[in-house]
Chains A and B, each alone.
Chain A
Amino acid sequence: MRTTLTERTEPRPSLSQRLDRMGEARFGLLLLIPTALVLLVFLALPLAYAAAMSLFRIELTVSPAWRWAGPGNYISLLGERAVRESLARTLAFAALTVGSSVSLALGAALLLNEPFRGRGFARVLVLLPWAVAPVVAGVLWRYLFHSNYGLVNALLYQAGLIPAYRVWFDSAPVAILIAALATAWKTLPFLALIILARLQSIPEALYRAARMDGAGAVARFRHVTLPQLRGILIFAVVMQTIVALQSFDLIFTLTRGGPGQGTVLLSYLVFINAFERLSLGTAAAMAALLTLLIVLLGGLTPLLIARRPRRERQDG
């Protein structure tokens, strides 16, 4: 009874009231704390941990000891043939992936922007690959090109284009190409979606003005549509480069790195070093270089988009 009396005479502020009396900055920082803790322990700490590991020789197959190596892992990486080959493969894969997915996505976006019956349905159906896990996409494309029961073999055979079923994955360049197409299949919906949104936001007045200046359909496309898409296309190229450089899941189920080392991209090489050879120091150094490459590339996007040629800047 007594406690309730004292509370009545001198009410203690509730948590919500205390929050309301706090300064705006303090309140905001307070809200950031839970997320900051999670990200510190499970994102920043592993990152720093990996960076530290990259400076040691850690061969778990030999001993659990960490032996100081300084920049040794990084130096030996650059001299290793497997790394150089994998880097070349990764760059080729990235070029194929970016080229095919951005051009296909641009085509798809332009198409889905045209008026036709069933357009709403088509726009929904096209989303399908976005929902599919990269690992599952690898399985799908593996079965699509399977040597015994692949749809591609069946169709080409019945069309008379190949005399017998082919083994597609026995050639490294073909396997890389299939992996790039499968990656393009998976990311096309997202890229097409953002390009389509940009297309829809191009002001009609620009087209009218171009028409009054006597521009034909092709000229309007070249001088109005394409320049307006420039920023989003650069964004798409950079996003897709990041996706390509990070690629692992899809390759894991599509080819398992084969034939031989034929589809072992950099991230896959990190995986092999870390979890098959248990050379954690080497793996960490390799992963650190890959991360650096990705962050630098990703950081370029805003710069590239900002540097839009003034001549084409008609919306400002």
Chain B
Amino acid sequence: MASAMPWLRPGAVYALVALLLLWTVAPVAWIATMSVQPEINYVSVPPRLRVEQTSLRWYAATLAEPEFVAALRTSTIVATATMLLCVTLGALTAYPLARLNVPHRNLYLTLSVTARMVPAMILIIPMFLILRGLRLLDSHLGLIIVYTAFLLPYVIWMLKNFFEQVPYALEAAARMDGCSRLGALVRVIIPVTAPGVVATAVFAFIGAWNEFLFGLILSTRVAVPVTVKLSSLVSTTFHSDTSLVAAAGMLALLPPVLLVFVLNRFIVRGLVEGMKY
């Protein structure tokens, strides 16, 4: 579409865009700077950043810390498994809701929208007791199940929106060619909506990687995710080297950020189409 604001001069547009990008990037750029400079350089007033002192040694030190590496591993395992489980269960659920004549279909859809509004804070109070009963506290499996349950309503909704867009004729043709019902889902619907499915998978991965509250309460030693580890670093190491905390923060935010930048096409379309009411 053409400009909606033709009274803006090109110079003004570029100035405003520069401001927008500064606002977007500055918080990350500052911690990135801190993570490659000795603390004394940015603590001095005014800060004296020295290019020749730039070093990755704080990253090396953080990655040599067994507890932090374990946290990165936990987040990777839990986020990957949550993503796979969410997409599998989500597809099995979204398919009938989008394309089959299921009784009480609207009730299920309303429930899934309502479930998205339930705050994690109310679930976490009894969740501790439930997981303790199931002997799943402080375990990868426990986090995977809880994250999946929390993210599924979003995932179902997104996949439902994508599946609805596939023409019925396509599915009918596949069935006439001898494709089974589940075969039609796996060989026709999912491939045709692949960009949307990828966006949904990324959404689930990032949601699980970035989750905090459940990990904080449900994990103590073995299955601590990186977000929880980072928050404990921030609150306890004020006396030690801040560059280390900055490097840990960068390591915690890089995986989802890289995913979004690499897959940005899928994600922009996926979020816009998938989140539609």
Contact = CB atoms under 8 A, between A and B. Distances in A.
B28 interface: yes
A113 B1 contact: yes
B130 interface: yes
Contacts of A305: 277
Nearest to A200: B1
Contact of B145 (A38, A132, A142): A38
B45 interface: yes
Interface in A237-260: 242, 245-246, 248-249, 252-253, 256
Question: Which size bracket describes the interface of A in this complex?
Answer: 35 or more
B149 A38 contact: yes
A253 to B, nearest CB: 5
Contact of B125 (A31, A41, A50, A242): A50
A141 B124 CA distance: 26
A257 B213 CA distance: 15
B224 to A, nearest CB: 13
B106 interface: no
B130 A270 contact: no
Interface of B: 1-8, 10, 13-14, 16-17, 20-21, 23-28, 30-31, 34, 39, 42-43, 45-47, 89-90, 92-93, 95-97, 100-103, 108, 113-115, 117-127, 129-130, 145-146, 148-150, 152-153, 156, 180-183, 206, 209-213, 217, 227, 230-231, 234-235, 242, 245-246, 249, 252-253, 256-257, 259-261, 264, 267-268, 271-272, 275, 277
Contacts of A221: 4-5
Contact of A283 (B28, B125, B146, B268): B125
Contact of A122 (B17, B23, B90, B275): B17
Interface in A114-135: 114-116, 118, 122-135
29 contacts: A16-B180, A19-B181, A20-B181, A25-B100, A27-B96, A31-B95, A35-B152, A39-B153, A46-B126, A49-B126, A53-B125, A125-B24, A126-B20, A127-B261, A129-B24, A131-B253, A132-B257, A143-B246, A193-B268, A193-B271, A246-B120, A253-B230, A256-B235, A283-B125, A290-B119, A291-B118, A294-B119, A299-B114, A301-B277
A253 B234 contact: yes
Given A34-B89, A122-B17, A154-B47, 17 more contacts: A38-B89, A38-B149, A39-B149, A41-B130, A43-B118, A46-B127, A47-B123, A49-B129, A125-B21, A127-B267, A128-B257, A130-B260, A131-B206, A133-B252, A149-B39, A274-B124, A301-B277
